[in-house]
């Protein structure tokens, strides 16, 4: 069941941050149903002190994603363009480059 | 044994309930919303799925406006104790359960004005009487959708309309109606909907829920950790977190997911149809037995599947004992935590024998119950 995943380095991704995991899971449901490729990820600490769970999405779809979340009244903290610039601890453990 | 106490808790449960609980305990685990790890997120998905299912069932737009509680008594206390202050006026009916009356009477002793609108002998509440009771400081109308003693179904759409037109909050106790007859928060202008998981929703004990109209900002009642805003020592202000502190009964909620799935597959109108048929069969089978008094409406369409009776020449607790020990038929006798309802229907303080059927009750079982009532009535008359 456990997929060993980590955000790729030097790649721009879209991240939605939330006030609580209730909203994160709701966002995942809503966006998956609308056909978006999304995944719940541990919130990168630089952008998400609030809730531990954030949502990764394809940044090119930002307008649609934001519109869908607003349409379904899903509460979120912010939408970020996020680029990880150096190897994380998890990358080191998983041997990612 | 024939189980006729579905008014207290439903039994048997659909197999999906235990399947989902087993799956959760064995494969998922975790506490929802407390960690970012895989199990916690999966648990959160389970919880959110149930919020969505309840939202669909009750025509609630935003599933996040639903908080889980441990039972409907807790839901009702959240609403009553946070919304009503000394000097406010509240209107309720004379058919309410103690989960409404006890908190209201407690607040009354502290300065809440309480009007109890008298229902007729069959338990029906006249919405016009509710309207006539409204005054300047009326804050809320709170009624039960259906009586747990005699099953009488109230015209809650009319009561909701009265509340809405007067700008008064409307709280519905749907303990006996959810999963059986339509409950629609929009159509019925419901501001606070209280439900329980273990009766008509066929879920486990230890589960309940409360819906809050998004236009209302509620105060906290039970405060604690919510897995959100953790850097603050103040309770979050937004639903469901404001009313959902501490670890929820996620194993129970997982079970409720299975039960709701069952209800969706069978279709609530089909559940209702069957229960009406069984209840009418029972009423028709016993109404002409000498010495048997049936309380409430004799038309099964006007009530739920709970029916209260008394047998002349016998005390209700004795009848219950004979049914249980002599016939293997389980009922609930006494006042059913609703002295108000018994006063309304004329069975106070002696109480009644209450039979409650479910979708799973069989026609053969109903016929055996009818036969038992007949035998007991004859014996009591000697």
Q: Which residues contact B342 (CB under 8 A, 6 or more apart)?
A: B149, B335, B336, B348, B349, B351, B352
**Given this model, what pLDDT does residue A6 score?**
79
Cβ–Cβ below 8 Å for B32 and A26:
no
- Determine the distance from the C-alpha atom of residue B177 to the mean position of all C-alpha atoms in its chain, rounded to a whole number: 6
- Bridge partners, residue B146, by sequence: B153
- How far apart are the C-alpha atoms of A38 and A29, rounded to whole Å? 9
Nearest CA distance, A61 vs chain B (angstrom): 24
Specify burial of residue B277 (Cβ count, 10 A radius: 0-12, 13-18, 19+): middle
The pTM for the full model equals 0.95
The CA distances from residue B52 to A22, A68, A91, B47, in Å, are: 12, 17, 36, 9
Supply angle C-alpha A42, A46, A52, rounded to 5: 30
Decide if B306 contacts B150 (C-beta within 8 A).
yes
pLDDT-derived band at A8, boundaries 50, 70, 90: confident
Nearest CA distance, B358 vs chain A (angstrom): 34
Tokens describing residue B135? 């005054």
Cβ–Cβ below 8 Å for B40 and A43:
no
Tokens describing residue B28? 């998922």
Q: Is the dihedral of CA A44, A47, A51, A57 positive or negative?
A: negative
Q: For residue range B151-201, list pLDDT tens digits in order.
A: 999 999 999 999 999 999 999 999 999 999 999 999 999 999 999 999 999
Domains and CATH numbers, chain B: 15-265 (3.40.640.10), 268-381 (3.90.1150.10)
Kindly state whether B62 is in contact with chain A, defined as any CB-CB distance less than 8 angstroms: yes
**Given this model, what pLDDT does residue B197 score?**
98
> Scanning the structure block, which residue is given the tokens 């959902």?
B244
- How far apart are the C-alpha atoms of B53 and B192, rounded to whole Å? 17
Average pLDDT on B88-110 reads 98
What is the full DSSP assignment across A76-92? Answer: -SEEEEEE--S--HHHH
Closest C-alpha among B204, B208, B146 to residue B176: B146
- How far apart are the C-alpha atoms of B139 and B210, rounded to whole Å? 19
**Given this model, what pLDDT does residue A1 score?**
38
Mean pLDDT of chain B: 97
Closest C-alpha among B311, B277, B272, B280 to residue B294: B311
Coil/strand/helix, residue A9: coil
- CB contacts of B40 in chain A (<8 Å) are 21
**Given this model, what pLDDT does residue A2 score?**
44
- How far apart are the C-alpha atoms of B121 and B346, rounded to whole Å? 7
Kindly state whether B52 is in contact with chain A, defined as any CB-CB distance less than 8 angstroms: yes
**Residue among B27, B35, B228 whose CB faces A19 most closely:** B228
- CB contacts of B32 in chain A (<8 Å) are 21
- Determine the distance from the C-alpha atom of residue A70 to the mean position of all C-alpha atoms in its chain, rounded to a whole number: 17
- How far apart are the C-alpha atoms of A20 and B242, rounded to whole Å? 12
User: What percent of chain B clears pLDDT 70, i.e. is strictly above it?
Assistant: 100
**Given this model, what pLDDT does residue B184 score?**
98
pLDDT-derived band at B37, boundaries 50, 70, 90: confident
**Residue among B64, B229, B231 whose CB faces A22 most closely:** B64
**Given this model, what pLDDT does residue A49 score?**
66
Decide if B316 contacts B377 (C-beta within 8 A).
no
Coil/strand/helix, residue B60: coil
Mean pLDDT of chain A: 88
Cβ–Cβ below 8 Å for B48 and A50:
no
Q: For residue range A21-35, list pLDDT tens digits in order.
A: 899 999 999 999 999
Q: For residue range B233-274, list pLDDT tens digits in order.
A: 999 999 999 999 999 999 999 999 999 999 999 999 999 999
- How far apart are the C-alpha atoms of B200 and B188, rounded to whole Å? 19
Kindly state whether B237 is in contact with chain A, defined as any CB-CB distance less than 8 angstroms: no
- How far apart are the C-alpha atoms of B130 and A20, rounded to whole Å? 40
**Residue among B40, B48, B231 whose CB faces A22 most closely:** B48
Tokens describing residue A76? 């979120």
Site from A20, A49, A70, A72 to mutate, B interface, most B CB atoms within 10 angstroms: A20
Decide if B290 contacts B377 (C-beta within 8 A).
yes
Domains and CATH numbers, chain A: 12-94 (3.30.70)
**pLDDT of residue B219 exceeding 90:** yes
Starting at the earlier edge strand, list the strands of the sheet with B208-212: B66-69, B208-212, B192-196, B169-173, B138-144, B89-93, B113-117
- Determine the distance from the C-alpha atom of residue B330 to the mean position of all C-alpha atoms in its chain, rounded to a whole number: 20
């Amino acid at each position: 069941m456990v997929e060993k995943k980590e955000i790729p380095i030097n790649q721009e991704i879209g991240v939605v941050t939330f006030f609580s995991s209730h909203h994160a899971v709701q966002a995942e449901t809503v966006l998956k149903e609308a056909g978006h490729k999304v995944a719940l990820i541990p919130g990168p600490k630089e952008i998400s002190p609030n809730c531990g769970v954030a949502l990764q999405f394809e940044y090119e779809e930002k307008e649609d994603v934001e519109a869908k979340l607003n349409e379904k009244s899903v509460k979120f903290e912010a939408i970020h363009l996020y680029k990880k610039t150096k190897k994380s601890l998890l990358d080191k453990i998983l041997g990612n480059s | 044994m024939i189980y006729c106490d579905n008014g207290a808790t439903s039994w048997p449960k659909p197999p999906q309930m235990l399947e989902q609980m087993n799956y959760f305990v064995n494969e998922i685990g975790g506490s929802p919303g407390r960690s970012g790890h895989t199990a916690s997120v999966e648990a959160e998905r389970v919880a959110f799925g149930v919020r969505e299912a309840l939202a669909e069932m009750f025509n609630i737009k935003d599933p996040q406006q639903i908080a889980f509680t441990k039972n409907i008594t807790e839901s009702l206390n959240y609403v009553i104790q946070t919304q009503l202050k000394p000097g406010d006026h509240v209107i309720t009916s004379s058919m309410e359960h103690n989960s409404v009356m006890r908190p209201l009477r407690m607040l009354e002793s502290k300065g809440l004005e309480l009007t109890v609108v008298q229902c007729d002998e069959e338990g029906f509440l006249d919405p016009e009487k509710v309207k006539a009771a409204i005054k300047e400081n009326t804050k809320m109308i709170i009624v039960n959708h259906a009586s747990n003693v005699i099953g009488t179904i109230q015209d809650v759409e009319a009561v909701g309309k009265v509340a809405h037109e007067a700008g008064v909050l409307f709280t519905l106790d749907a303990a006996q109606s959810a999963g059986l007859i339509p409950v629609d928060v929009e159509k019925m202008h419901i501001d606070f909907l209280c439900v329980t998981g273990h009766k008509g929703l066929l879920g486990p004990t230890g589960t309940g829920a409360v819906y809050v109209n998004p236009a209302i900002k509620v105060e906290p009642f039970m405060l604690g950790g919510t897995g959100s805003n953790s850097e603050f020592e103040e309770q979050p202000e937004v639903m469901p977190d404001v009313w959902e502190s501490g670890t929820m009964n996620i194993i129970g909620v997982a079970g409720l997911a299975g039960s709701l799935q069952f209800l969706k597959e069978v279709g609530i109108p089909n559940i209702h149809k069957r229960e009406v048929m069984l209840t009418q069969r029972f009423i028709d089978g016993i109404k002409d037995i000498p010495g048997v008094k049936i309380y409430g409406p004799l038309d099964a369409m006007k009530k739920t599947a709970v029916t209260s009776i008394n047998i002349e020449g016998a005390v209700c607790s004795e009848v219950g004992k004979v049914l249980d020990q002599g016939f293997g038929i389980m009922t609930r006798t006494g006042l059913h935590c609703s002295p108000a309802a018994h006063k309304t229907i004329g069975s106070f303080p002696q109480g009644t024998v209450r039979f409650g059927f479910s979708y799973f009750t069989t026609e053969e079982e109903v016929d055996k119950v009818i036969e038992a009532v007949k035998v007991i009535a004859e014996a009591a008359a000697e």
